[in-house]
Structure 1
């Protein structure tokens, strides 16, 4: 699994009204006039304890709360997969919170529908953009394509078959960025490495992920990027059981103990991104529009597992990272998430 981040920190001292999956308990007033406390609602497309994207985001919200005594997490709605559940959950949260964090790309349409009905609520949409500008919505994302370019370059250099693979859950823009970034990174040398992609339809289904990885390995793929949550266990299992070495690369976090063939990770600090966004929102300093977090701020960074980086591979990773930051390497059009046709900032 990816590194598990505790869902609570100093923020556990706060009283939380945690809803059951797919439901939410009313949050009450969004602000306490006497104390100046602002309440936060959190909604996600996956379970709150998914060991990945959702858990990292929630950890960032808790970190912002722990650093500021005027914030409280009042309610959570998780595991909402269809549009009706998402709209209902957002409406429930918006009715009782000053800030609502919509954690997941599939929530973008629901936010577009609900946000105009609650103009005094600040919505933070994670990993996606709304179709049109709203002055109470801020979209935040990680420029994962930068990480993917470094992964592609390293995987290509270390690959023996020059056949690379990427396995993801859904065909969302962020997963496309991982794929096209790997393609660009692999193309930085003249090895002729090729990258294939597979979508399982589920970020947490271990069986589907294992089958997808086994199918790739059967075609000669010896390096796989797993853009999955708990489903990554299936990729590790397939890699560990392979008759020849199959390198695995993670995303978001780095958990080198999860499998014997894990080389490294295109680390994305969603917790840092959410902490920054929530802190600014609480202070009234979060601009409406879209914000992308990249290499320069350390929101994304490639990291090797101990002992897995040859001197040449580490030198290559450092070189490509520096070239991306200095714009010596320009990401291809498909590598970065599409920019919305409204206010946009790169951090």
Structure 2
């Protein structure tokens, strides 16, 4: 008969070999990400791509990424199907991916889907929607625009005329009026986040009405706004990432952390704590998720912006969803 000691030794050895084999065959988390626009758009898509790069740097070979970039809306279902068939976590960047994500998620119930910029209202057991709360930070951006405008006139150009983009435009105007009730505000939508010509046309029309500070929710269409502002000597409040000092055309930045949300989805999946459902980000998740920066702000400007953001957090200022 084998002694109790030899049995225990054999059990420990077997356990060690099993653990070693498990570790040796551990596979990286497979992440698929759909960036429907350009990853170098100076906006939503680039910020999301920066977040992906940060996650890859953090996790190294613990994650394996497949990215599909710059596709037509008509090809979104096919792109998400491709990603879902090969990955454990699939991230759709932008609210424009939401309808397709929910559609494809039904076919892949074991795959986790996260939507960067997801809206409330839909639900599925394998889909998480992350709301960046663009309307909230747009209100603060409007206040900054009113502080910076020399003409007392500002403008906003959005892409698709959908609730989240329209609500952000409305709150940009409301924030500006909180600083200057008599400010002139122009609001336009191009119908396309990437149409450079239409964005330029809309910006030039606003400039013709006196606007000297412009805000946007655009992707590649931002190039058109830049062209108009350069030609006419006006300025832009950028979005998504603080790049103060890199381009004199930009006088401020609203930080809408789409890259932060990409990292959040990957962090949660790596930890095994990923969960479905609607989740609000915005100011309450901290400055990486949402913030407002005037480049070279005076102490008075910074104090006023901080006070506005605190009132938003405390519920003293109410804004639309989006």
Interval containing the TM-score (normalised by the shorter chain)? 0.7 to 0.9
Quick one: structure 1 residues 190 and 102, their matched pair in 2 at CA, closer, same or farther if it must change by over 3 Å? closer
1:313 aligns with 2:301: yes
TM-score by length of 1: 0.78
Q: 1:182 aligns with which of 150, 167, 172?
A: 172
1:89-138 per-residue CA deviation (whole Å, 9 max, x = no partner) reads 11111111111111121111111111011111001112123753211100
Question: Counting helix residues as a fraction of each chain, which structure ranks higher?
Answer: 2
Quick one: structure 1 residues 262 and 109, their matched pair in 2 at CA, closer, same or farther if it must change by over 3 Å? same
Work out the CA distance in 1 between the residues paired with 2:255 and 2:171: 14
Work out the CA distance in 2 between the residues paired with 1:202 and 1:48: 17
Q: 1:58 aligns with which of 49, 62, 69?
A: 49
1:122 aligns with 2:112: yes
Work out the CA distance in 1 between the residues paired with 2:67 and 2:52: 11
Q: 1:284 aligns with which of 253, 262, 272?
A: 272
Quick one: structure 1 residues 62 and 263, their matched pair in 2 at CA, closer, same or farther if it must change by over 3 Å? closer
Unmatched 5+ residue regions in structure 1? 1-31, 338-347
Of stretches 280-289 and 293-302 in structure 1, the one that deviates more from structure 2 is 280-289
Work out the CA distance in 1 between the residues paired with 2:163 and 2:171: 12
Larger Rg: 2
SS at match of 1:68: helix
Q: 1:200 aligns with which of 165, 172, 190?
A: 190
1:336 aligns with 2:314: no
Of stretches 37-46 and 182-191 in structure 1, the one that deviates more from structure 2 is 182-191
Give the aligned partner of residue 10 of structure 1. none
* Post-superposition offset of 1:195: 2.4
Q: 1:295 aligns with which of 257, 276, 283?
A: 283
TM-score by length of 2: 0.84
Q: 2:95 aligns with which of 105, 120, 133?
A: 105
1:242-257 to structure 2, matched below 5 A, reads: 242=232, 246-256=234-244
How many corresponding residue pairs? 298
